[in-house]
Structure 1
Amino acid sequence: MYAVIKTGGKQYRVTPGLRLKVEKLTGDVGSDVTIDQVLVLADGENVTIGAPLIAGASVTAKVLSHGRGDKVMIFKFRRRKHYRKTQGHRQSYTEIQIADFGGASTKPAKAKAAKAKAAE
C-alpha cells in the first residue's frame, strides 16, 4: 500500500512506517500532522488517482524532529569587474514518520467497474 502526497511544493511516494524529511511543517515534536493533499492511493491492484486531488483522503504522520539542512554557498562573480558576492542558505525541514492512510477508500468506484465490464 502506498500513496503519493504533496507537501511543501514537492511530491512524495510514501508507505506506512516511512521516515522522510519534508519542508518545515507546523507542529510540535511528537504530535500528529494530517496531510490532506493526496494525489494517488494504491492498495495492490486497486489504484485511485485524483483529479488533481482525492477528495476525503488524508495521510497521518508523526513529527519526529525539526532541523536545518546543510549550508549551501551561493557565489556570484563577474570577471574583470571587481564584483564578487558570497551568500549562504540553510533550508529548514521537518522529519516525519508516516503512520497510516485515512479517508477515501482505495476500492475502484462502481461506475468505473461497470464501464470496465461493459467494455469487455
Structure 2
Amino acid sequence: MYAIFKINGVQYKAKSGSVVCLNKISGDIGSTIEIKKIMALFNDEKIIFGQPFIKNSRIIATIKKHINGKKISIVKFSRRKHFKKITGYRQKLTNIKIIDICC
C-alpha cells in the first residue's frame, strides 16, 4: 500500500516504512507528525482518489533529521565589464520516516 500526499504545495509518494526527503517542516527530531492531506491511496485491491483530499485518512510519520540539500551555484556575469559574481544556495530539507498509513 502506498499513498500520494501533499505538504507545503508539493506532492510526495510514500510507502509504509519508507524514508521521504521533503522541504523543511517545523518540528523537533524524533517528534511524530500527522499528515491529513492525502490525495490518493493505492492498495492491492483498489485505488481511492480524493476530491481533492481523502476524508478520514492520515499518515503518521516521525521526523528523522534536518539537512541541507545539494549546493546550487548562481553566477552573474557581464562580458567586457570585468564583472563576475558567484553565490550559492542550499535548500533546507527534512527526512521523515513513514510509520503508518491509515485509511
Q: How many corresponding residue pairs?
A: 103
Name the one with the larger strand percent.
2
Give the counterpart letter for 2:97 in structure 1.
Answer: Q
Q: Normalised by the size of structure 2, how large is the TM-score?
A: 0.89
TM-score of the superposition, structure 1-length normalised? Answer: 0.78
* Aligned residue number for residue 70 of structure 1: 70
Matched, 1:36 2:36: yes
**Using the alignment, how far apart are the partners of 1:80 and 1:45 within structure 2?**
65
Which SS does the other structure have where 1:52 is aligned? coil
Give the secondary structure class of the aligned counterpart of 1:3. Answer: strand
The yes-or-no answer on 1:26 pairing with 2:26 is yes
Counterpart amino acid of residue 95 in structure 1: N
- Separation in structure 2 between the aligned mates of residue 41 and residue 57 of structure 1, nearest angstrom: 9
Q: CA deviation at 1:82?
A: 3.6
Runs (5+) with no aligned partner, structure 1: 106-120
Asked if 2 retains the 8 angstrom alpha-carbon contact of 1:30 and 1:64, the reply is yes
Specify the alignment match of 1:84 in structure 2. Answer: 84
1:16-37 per-residue CA deviation (whole Å, 9 max, x = no partner) reads 0001211111111111111111
Please give the alpha-carbon distance, in whole angstroms, between the structure 1 residues aligned to 2:74 and 2:10: 23
For residues 34 and 101 of structure 1, the distance between their equivalents in structure 2, rounded to whole angstroms, comes to 10
Q: Determine which structure has greater relative contact order: mean sequence separation of CA pairs < 8 Å that are 6+ residues apart, divided by chain length.
A: 2
How large is the RMSD of aligned CA atoms in angstroms?
A: 1.4
Q: Is the 8 A contact 1:8 1:22 kept in 2?
A: no
Taking every aligned residue pair, what percent have the same amino acid on both sides? 37
Instruction: Identify unmatched segments of 5+ residues in structure 2.
Output: none
Q: Cα offset for 1:85?
A: 2.2
Q: Distance between the aligned counterparts of 1:83 and 1:55, measured in 2?
A: 56
